[in-house]
Amino acid sequence: MKLVRYGEPGRERPGLIDADGVLRDLKGHVQDIRGPAFQEQTMDRLRSIRPETLPAVEEDVRFGMPVGGIRKIVCIGLNYTDHARETGNEPPKEPIAFFKPNTCLTGPNDPIVLLRNSRHTDWEVELAVVIGKHTKYVEEADALDHVAGYCVANDVSERKFQAKGTGQWILGKSGDTYCPLGPLFVTADEVPDPQNLRLWLDVNGERMQDGTTANMIFGVAHLIHFVSQFMTLEPGDIVLTGTPAGVGVGRDPKVFLKEGDVVSLGIDGLGQQRSVIAPPE
Ligand code: ZN
């Protein structure tokens, strides 16, 4: 299934995109697309609905992030061989983990609002994994059974704030709107191999990133296993799995986002985002 949340910020309604790309209203069938809905019986019930029996939504709507009530966003850094190389780093021996706060989250086509005094805001197209079950000390062989589905994410990063002082990455990763998510939440049964997805990103129509999840250093199953040795992952938590080469800080000369720029990005089968860069509040 391709599930979405649509409507005004904070008042999104659950929906489904049918095989013809038509948005259908799921109101009355599920309260929201969020952690508690990922129980198998709820998902099976939604799967049993014939989409053509759901009301079509004809008007132009805003898409919100496709998963509501997200409590934590665990991120993995330098997880693609080509991206580690472009930043001048050795491929890590074990996953590098950090967090983004859930206040970063915004819809897939909402503006990205620059942090005050930012001159080094950069882009990172990433495969976002949505956890479906209580996950603690999970074996790698069982880890994909804990995945509810996948989304497109942009791990927007302020490189100066990420590197300055003592180099606390979190300070460059945490701006409001610095994590557009969606538009689709694609259930795991429709993504048979998360290590075979093409992902790309354009700035003002110019291709900047063009990679494949096949180049991840640590695959999705290993990442979930690894993170679950240190914390519990709950239904609706998100794991961002790193970005391929082509970020602005890796280019010569370096390129960063400024007011009015348009960032478009997507992953095969998971949909596309389009964000306009807005000035600081
Ligand atoms: Zn990232």
Alpha helical stretches, state H, 158-265: 159-163, 220-227
Q: What is the count of structural domains for the chain?
A: 2
Q: List all residues 6 or more positions away from 44 whose beta carbon is below 8 Å from its beta carbon.
A: none
Q: Is 67 a member of any domain? A: no
Residue 118 alpha carbon to ligand 1 centre in Å: 18
Q: pLDDT confidence of 264, banded at 50, 70, 90?
A: very high
Domain that holds residue 206: 73-278
Residue 243 alpha carbon to ligand 1 centre in Å: 5
Q: Is 104 a member of any domain? A: yes
Query: What's the confidence (pLDDT) of residue 85?
Result: 87
C-alpha distances out from residue 7 to 139, 180, 236, 266, Å:
39, 16, 20, 21
The pTM (predicted TM-score) of the whole model is 0.97
Do residues 45 and 144 share a domain?
no
pLDDT per position as a tens digit, 196-214: 999 999 999 999 999 999 9
Query: What's the confidence (pLDDT) of residue 271?
Result: 97
Residue 64 in tokens? 């919100």
| 183 CB-side CA count, 13 A | 19
Do residues 47 and 79 share a domain?
no
Neighbours of ion ligand 1 (CB under 5 A): 124, 155, 243
Query: What's the confidence (pLDDT) of residue 180?
Result: 98
Do residues 236 and 170 share a domain?
yes
Contact criterion met (CB below 8 Å) for 146 and 133: yes
Residue 1 alpha carbon to ligand 1 centre in Å: 26
Average pLDDT over residues 168-185: 96
What percent of the chain shows pLDDT beyond 70?
100
Residue 50 alpha carbon to ligand 1 centre in Å: 37
Do residues 89 and 207 share a domain?
yes
Query: What's the confidence (pLDDT) of residue 167?
Result: 83
The 3-state DSSP class for residue 65 equals: coil
Average pLDDT over residues 245-256: 95
Do residues 157 and 258 share a domain?
yes
Q: List all residues 6 or more positions away from 60 whose beta carbon is below 8 Å from its beta carbon.
A: none
Amino acid identity, position 279: P
Residue 279 alpha carbon to ligand 1 centre in Å: 22
Residue 117 alpha carbon to ligand 1 centre in Å: 21
Phi-psi region of 61 (alpha: psi -120 to 50; beta: other; left: phi over 0): beta
Report d(CA 184, CA 269) in Å as an integer. 9
Do residues 265 and 201 share a domain?
yes
Residue 53 alpha carbon to ligand 1 centre in Å: 40
Query: CATH code at 110?
Result: 3.90.850.10
Residue 146 alpha carbon to ligand 1 centre in Å: 22
Report d(CA 261, CA 241) in Å as an integer. 25
pLDDT per position as a tens digit, 31-58: 999 998 999 999 999 999 999 999 999 9
Query: What's the confidence (pLDDT) of residue 192?
Result: 94
Q: Is 22 a member of any domain? A: yes
253 preceded by cis ω (within 30°)?
Answer: yes
Residue 126 alpha carbon to ligand 1 centre in Å: 7
Query: What's the confidence (pLDDT) of residue 26?
Result: 97
pLDDT per position as a tens digit, 58-89: 999 999 999 999 999 999 999 999 988 888 88
Query: What's the confidence (pLDDT) of residue 163?
Result: 87
* Listed range (162-176, 229-243, 264-278) with the worst mean pLDDT: 162-176
Do residues 166 and 195 share a domain?
yes
Residue 190 alpha carbon to ligand 1 centre in Å: 24
Mean per-residue pLDDT of the chain: 96
Do residues 39 and 143 share a domain?
no
The side-by-side arrangement of strands in the sheet containing 2-6 is 23-25, 13-17, 2-6, 185-187, 147-154, 125-131, 238-240, 73-77, 96-100
Residue 124 alpha carbon to ligand 1 centre in Å: 6
Query: What's the confidence (pLDDT) of residue 89?
Result: 87
Q: Is 259 a member of any domain? A: yes
